[in-house]
Structure 1
């Protein structure tokens, strides 16, 4: 299953990347995550409302291309595989953030439900990222 969420943020791409590309501090702008830390290439993300902790491995991080990718290692979600990519691209109105994921669960029914949940998390996070970027421009 694959999902993609995108948002144009009216700000310089490097400003958006400074916040969005900081892999250790995603809890600052992802509402579904209440706490995040990173040791080496492993990021620990604690989901809000007692949702448990996920461990993700940052498998690629490129400041020049403003892009990173991560794999889900373990946690509360019923995933067989999960790779997500977060990228900040140039756009005539500022920056286009593209966040996508390709994943598989044990069943097609779980895939569809999880795709809807992840897309909602990504949309809410991109809205919050836009607010954080706007606050740093004042």
Structure 2
């Protein structure tokens, strides 16, 4: 449900579509890049996957561009088994851009809350 870099389009209500591509980084390395087309016509958010740990069931990513009030944004989403269930943990560090720290934090928390609620809704089907 959560693990694929473009799986967010299945469960986040603010993501209308995810476009996955690869980008070359020195010495033949490629990294996953996703373009998240947002609902409501807000634009496209571009993010690059910076780390993936299948064993720990987590991946990290960085914001490249788009309609978010942040810069230097780096986030990790991980799934932690808890018996028959799981807990999803989504964390980030960032600097506010164009608004106060409190406003940017509230905005990002709203994005996360909507996404986590979307995961719960999909799993309840």
Same fold by TM-score greater than 0.5: yes
State whether residues 25 and 37 of structure 1, in contact with CA within 8 Å, keep that contact through their aligned partners in structure 2. no
State whether residues 99 and 122 of structure 1, in contact with CA within 8 Å, keep that contact through their aligned partners in structure 2. yes
**CA 1:110–1:93 in structure 2 vs 1: closer, same or farther (change >3 Å)?**
farther
Residue number in structure 1 paired with 2:120: 130
Q: Which runs of 5+ in 2 are unaligned?
A: 23-31
TM-score (norm 1): 0.77
By percentage of residues, which structure has more helix? Answer: 1
Between the two structures, name the one with larger relative contact order (CA 8 Å, sep ≥ 6). Answer: 1
By percentage of residues, which structure has more strand? Answer: 2
Runs of 4+ in 1 over 3 A off after TM superposition: none
Aligned pairs, how many?
116
What is the root-mean-square deviation of aligned Cα atoms in Å? Answer: 1.5
Q: Which runs of 5+ in 1 are unaligned?
A: 1-18
| Residue 52 of structure 2 is aligned to residue 70 of structure 1 | no
TM-score (norm 2): 0.84
